[in-house]
Structure 1
Amino acid sequence: MGTTGLAAEPLVAAASLLGATFACRGVRATIVEVEAYGGVPDGPWPDPAAHSYRGPTARNAVMFGPPGRLYTYRSYGMHVCANVVCGPAGTAAAVLLRAAVIETGEQLARARRGDAVPSQALARGPGNLCQALGITMADNGIDLLDPDAPVRLGFGEKLGERPAPRAGPRVGVSRAADRPWRLWVPETAAVSAYRRSPRAPAPGASD
């Protein structure tokens, strides 16, 4: 698929990432849950829940492209989260990686996450995913399609006979809280639970 496949609207790019693989520092995992995010108010995908909504800053500049770059940030100032930049260069959009199934390197992932964590939960949740794979804030801006990069994205894997992806509201956002931009592979134990932000409007009162 490559960069061309990621130079698409956020929801299309998000769907393409289900079943893709991430390889990082001795661990390889298959992505099973993602969330799409858009950009600025006057762009093609206005999204008040996106970091890029108010325009480019030093923090979010990577979100404005080119596609195929890694955008990292800290959730609550603690947990590193990873996004795949999508859309055409100059237009902000990204896909948050929410959960993955560890395919190889489980012992390394377990060393990073702890011996008591069940296998299906090693990369469940965006912060846990980054911890299991060893993704850090220093990886921000990496070209994920560069075969020599320490974090690599691969589209060789397919979902096969798994059920069609499901869609629903994004987790924990207080704006655009009903937008069905979270996609996941059903019947997969690694997928995280939906939690609505207590600051979000009542269901049905948001886009």
Structure 2
Amino acid sequence: MADSFPIQPDFPVDFFARPAPDVARDLVGARLAIAKADGRQSAGLITETEAYRRDDPASHSFRGPTPRNGAMFGPAGRAYVYLCYGIHWCLNVVCLPGEAVLLRAMEPVDGMDLMAARRGLTSPGLLATGPGRLAQALAVDRSHDGQPFGTAHMSLSPAFSPEIITGPRIGIRRAIDLPWRFGWAGSAFLSRPFPQ
């Protein structure tokens, strides 16, 4: 699928300055690319997202700004990166103040050799299916926190508009009934199957 679509211009900032559930739905099918200082790029098509709002008790922003979540209260269209369980980096896209979209999974389409080396495996289906795997495959870390998308180093652009499936979010203990997990229907690159 890597060569089956033209690369479009990045989303404008006002695309992100909307409620997180709307942005999360619209990011499924988008092309995410991260380039390192040497110019080598890794990219994929987003297959799964989760939305978190400021009034959402499962959101990092629920209790207000902190040094850890400060990027969530910054400009829309920037990255919010945090360490999960002290092990895995997770990449989010900032929307309205205090709202963000967690990028849960993607289908690798470019720089697969780089992603395989970073992940220590070659199976495309395991390279970026899960937020920690996605961040590791793209070499995302704390240095990306607060950085804008739409640059030579980090971009999000329209690619596909697939059929979307929804379901409850994963790995949280609060607000578990909200259907704010969005996925590419029929994709083999999801972190976990959606409920039937």
Superposed CA offset, 1:174-206 (max 9, x none): 0001110000002111101169xxxxxxxxxxx
Partners of 1:151 and 1:5 in 2: how far apart?
A: 16
Contact 1:32 1:191 in 2 (8 A): yes
Alignment correspondent of 1:182: 181
**Which of 120, 129, 144 lines up with 1:124 in the alignment?**
129
Deviation at 1:65, TM superposition (A): 2.5
Alignment correspondent of 1:94: 100
Deviation at 1:86, TM superposition (A): 0.5
**Structure 2 residue matching 1:52: 3-state secondary structure:** coil
One-letter identity of the residue aligned with 2:189? A
Determine which structure has greater relative contact order: mean sequence separation of CA pairs < 8 Å that are 6+ residues apart, divided by chain length: 2
Partners of 1:16 and 1:65 in 2: how far apart?
A: 21
Is 1:20 aligned to residue 30 of structure 2?
yes
Judged with a 3 Å threshold, the aligned counterparts in structure 2 of structure 1 residues 180 and 76 are, in CA distance, closer, same or farther, namely same
Partners of 2:52 and 2:139 in 1: how far apart?
A: 23
Is 1:73 aligned to residue 82 of structure 2?
yes
**Structure 2 residue matching 1:51: 3-state secondary structure:** coil
One-letter identity of the residue aligned with 2:128? A
Alignment correspondent of 2:92: 83
Superposed CA offset, 1:45-104 (max 9, x none): x100000000001110110121000000011011000000002xxx21000000001111
Deviation at 1:21, TM superposition (A): 1.2
Alignment correspondent of 2:143: 138
Aligned Cα RMSD in Å?
A: 1.4
The TM-score normalised by the length of structure 1 is 0.83
Partners of 1:93 and 1:2 in 2: how far apart?
A: 17
Is 1:168 aligned to residue 167 of structure 2?
yes
Residue-pair matches, total: 179
Contact 1:75 1:81 in 2 (8 A): yes
Superposed CA offset, 1:1-41 (max 9, x none): 411111111111111111111111320111010000011xx
**Structure 1 residue matching 2:61: 3-state secondary structure:** coil
Identity across matched positions, percent: 41
